[in-house]
Every structure is written in C-alpha cells, then in structure tokens.
Amino acid sequence: MGQESTASLEITSMGVDNRKLGVWVWLGSEAVFFSALIIVYIVMRNNSVSGPFPRETLNVSLTAVNTFILICSSLTMVTALSAIQSGSQRGLWRWLVVTMALGLAFLTGQVIEFTSLAHQGLSLSSNLFGGTFFTLTGFHGAHVLIGVIWIGFVVARALRGGYTPSNHLMVELAGLYWHFVDLVWIIIFTIVYLI
C-alpha cells in the first residue's frame, strides 16, 4: 500500500518539496504545543501548596550532562546527513546509529532523574510542581523516544542502500524533527532546571 518516494522530481509552484514544507509547518505547530506546556509549568510550578519543591529536588548536574548528550546527538545527526550528501553510505548509518544511542542515553538519564524524583515523593498527582514537571518533560521524552524509533526506520532503509546524494529527503526530515526536539530541550532545561 503506497509507495516510497521515488527520485522523480515533484515540481511545485514554490520550488520546494511539499513534504519538507509540511514538516516545517508541523514543527511550527509543535512549537505552540510545547509553548503551552511550558507556560503551564512557569505559571504553576511555584504555586504548589505542599512539597516536594523544585529547588531542593531537581538534579541540575545530571540533567546538564543529559543536555550535553542531546546536543552531541544533534551533531551526530547532522554529520549523518552530511555523510549521505557526500555519498558515504557507511557514514550515514553509523552516525545515525550513534544518534540513536545518544538518544537512548538521554532517555536513560531521564528515567534515572524521574525515579529519583519519584522517590522524593514527586508524581503527577503529588502537587502542581509534580504535575506540570512530569507533563512537560514526559511529553518531551515521548518525543525523543518517537525520534529514536523514527531514526531506527531510517537506519533500516539506509542499510538497504535506500538513500543517495540526490535522494535522501527522509534523512533530512528525520533530522529536522530530531534537532527540533533538541531545541525544545534547550529551552526546557533552562526554564525548569536553571531558573
């Protein structure tokens, strides 16, 4: 059912690929989605009637390392794209696999942080801080997980030689999503952990 994109050119009146434009419009809407989650966090996190409270529970150091890991994964993702643009099949799938590994490392870090917070009594229903924190970071983590799975599919196709220097849109689109998820984390980390 359905066919994978072929190498034939889709000439559109604006000269851009519709799928790429579609992904950018979607990322614009995701920006509003995460903004709404962020503002809920900002408005509510300090209004908790009872603890646990942010300052004493959040592990800034661990999460700073996690942030660094995600930034690394953006570098490896763009390196993978660069590899296929230069025709390196090996470079493509290897750097994609590294990106996935870094993504999984980030998720592991998040699980460690969430578990630690849970042990301190923080949960979705414990108080406003817990509810807003877990909703915001939980949805971000879900986006990372989906990204890892998506890149997995790209790797599978890359291993079959499915991408060439003139036909690798899906690699680029997966990259756009991945960088966006990193971008959102940059904002979340600053607002939740540092301020």
Partner 1 sequence: MPQFVWQMLITAFLMVFAIPSLTVDAILLFLQRNFGAVFFSAAQGGSVLLWQHLFWFFGHPEVYILILPAFGIISEIIPTFSKKPIFGYAALVYAGIAIGFLGFTVWAHHMFAVGMSPLADAVFSLDSMIIAVPTSIKIFNWIATLWGGKLNLKAPLLFAAGFIALFIIGGFSGISLATVPIDFQVEDTFFVVGHFHYVLFGGTVFALFGGFYYWLPKITGRLLSEKLARWHFGLMFVGMNLTYFPMYILGLSGMPRRVFTYSMAQGWGTLNLISTIGAFTIATSVLIFLINFFTSQRKGEKAGNDPWDGQSLEWTVSSPPPAYNFAHIPVVSSRRPFWDQKYPPAGGQPAARVEVEKSNGERFSKGSFYPIIVALGLFIAAFGMIFSFWVVLPGVAVVFYGIIGWFREHF
Partner 2 sequence: MSDDIKIETKKSSRRTYLVVFGVLALLTALEVTVTHLPIPRIPVLIPLALIKASLVALFYMHLRFDRKVFSVVFVMGLLMGVGLILSLIALFAPSLLDIR
Which residues form the interface with partner 1 (CB under 8 A)?
Answer: 1-6, 10, 19, 22, 25-26, 28-30, 32-33, 36-37, 40, 43-44, 47-49, 124-125, 127-128, 131-132, 135, 139
Question: Which of partner 1, partner 2, none interacts with 68 (beta carbon under 5 to 8 A by kind)?
Answer: partner 2
| Residue 145 touches which member of partner 1, partner 2, none, C-beta under 5-8 Å by kind | none
Q: Tell me the C-alpha distance between 84 and 57, whole Å.
A: 43
Minimum separation from the CB atom of position 68 to partner 2 (A): 6
**Interface residue with partner 2, options 36, 118, 124, 149 (CB under 8 A):** 36
CA 176 – CA 170 distance, rounded (Å): 10
Kindly tell me which of 155 and 192 has the beta carbon lying closer to partner 2. 192
Q: Which of residues 42-81 bind partner 2 (CB under 8 A)?
A: 42-43, 46-47, 60-61, 64, 67-68, 71-72, 74-75, 77-79
SS3 assignment for the chain: CCCCCCCCCCCCCCCCCHHHHHHHHHHHHHHHHHHHHHHHHHHHHHHCCCCCCHHHHCCHHHHHHHHHHHHHHHHHHHHHHHHHHCCCHHHHHHHHHHHHHHHHHHHHHHHHHHHHHHHCCCCCCCCHHHHHHHHHHHHHHHHHHHHHHHHHHHHHHHHCCCCECCECHHHHHHHHHHHHHHHHHHHHHHHHHHC
Compare residues 62 and 97 and give the one whose CB is closer to partner 2: 62
Q: Which residues would be at the binding site for partner 2 (CB under 8 A)?
A: 5-7, 9-10, 14-17, 20-21, 24-25, 27-32, 34-36, 38-39, 42-43, 46-47, 60-61, 64, 67-68, 71-72, 74-75, 77-79, 82, 85, 165-169, 172, 175-176, 179-180, 182-183, 186-187, 189-191, 194-195
